[in-house]
Amino acid sequence: MLKKIYRSVRLLPKRGKEPYTSFYKIFGFYPYNITLYEQALRHKSSSIKLKDGRWINNERLEFLGDAILDATVADIVFKEFEYKKEGFLTTVRSKIVQRETLNKLALELGIDRFVKASTKNNTHNTHMYGNALEALIGAIYLDQGYRVTKKFVYERLIQQYLNIDSVAELEVNYKSRLIEWSQKQKISVSFDLIDSYVNEDNTPVFKTAVVIVGEQAGIGTGYSKKESQQKAAKEAFDKIQNESDFLNHILKQHEQEQKMHDDLYTKHAEKDIQPTSQIEENHKQ
């Protein structure tokens, strides 16, 4: 099959076969539907508008790739650490799929050279390349299926650029993970300093609470604000990952809060709109 694809690629004009060759160097296989991969590399700042009014960029593929990456990494970690408990497996998966790791992997693969964007990868958009990698994983899944996608994640990402045992020992930036989760869910999260004092050794101590949709989700104490925030974020993130009742409660609270906001907006909008007859009567006066 690969020889057949390669022969068809060779028949393309020089300019036409360049994308296939570039993708082969990254993935280790030739795409069937190259349009998917080109879309995966198109940042929303360089969206294309189709005749039917739809805008084409990599956001939908990024959404799919995020879910597929979670599944493949969970599959790999489950088999790699045969006797480890759920909490450990969840933590290792989180370390591999976090945005900082994906951005690093994207740069290692050279994906940054192919991303089409009209904005620079600055401090406001630091994960553009990692997001593109997720979109490419979505494209591989649609184009090649789960088996090839898992092979790419394991052989080209984890084995080639990550040491899975070393990754397991790394500290997770729980604050970043929690903020990332809140942004995806469109749920408000705040880090509130609730106490600070000097202990018996004359060392400053800080106490931070994580509040999600008005609910206190975690408390952390540390010798710096950053340390206390990380500990509080870890407690909150563990709750979200492992306590379904707490997660369901938070999601329900968010839904009710959103409904109240929508109802209030509708009420004000209706109040501002006067019937035509009333407008005419006011004009006569």
Which residues carry out catalysis?
A: 66, 134
Q: Which two tokens stand for residue 51?
A: 């005749």
* Sole residue written with tokens 């869910």: 185
Task: Report DSSP letters for 216-246, one per residue.
Answer: EEEEEEESSHHHHHHHHHHHHHHHHHH-HHH
Number of H helices, E strands in the chain: 14, 5
3-state helix, strand, coil in the chain (%, to 5): 65, 10, 20
CA distance 181 to 98: 10
State how far the Cα of 211 lies from the Cα of 216, in Å rounded to an integer.
Answer: 4
Give the pair of three-digit tokens for residue 211: 């509040």
Residues 207, 221 contacting (CB under 8 angstroms): yes
Q: What is the dihedral of CA 12, 14, 19, 24, to 10 degrees?
A: 80
Distance CA 144, CA 68 (A): 13
Q: Which two tokens stand for residue 266?
A: 């509708």
- Alpha carbons 129 and 175: distance in angstroms, whole number: 21
Q: Which residue has the tokens 């995806």?
A: 184
Q: Are 29 and 15 in contact (CB under 8 A)?
A: no
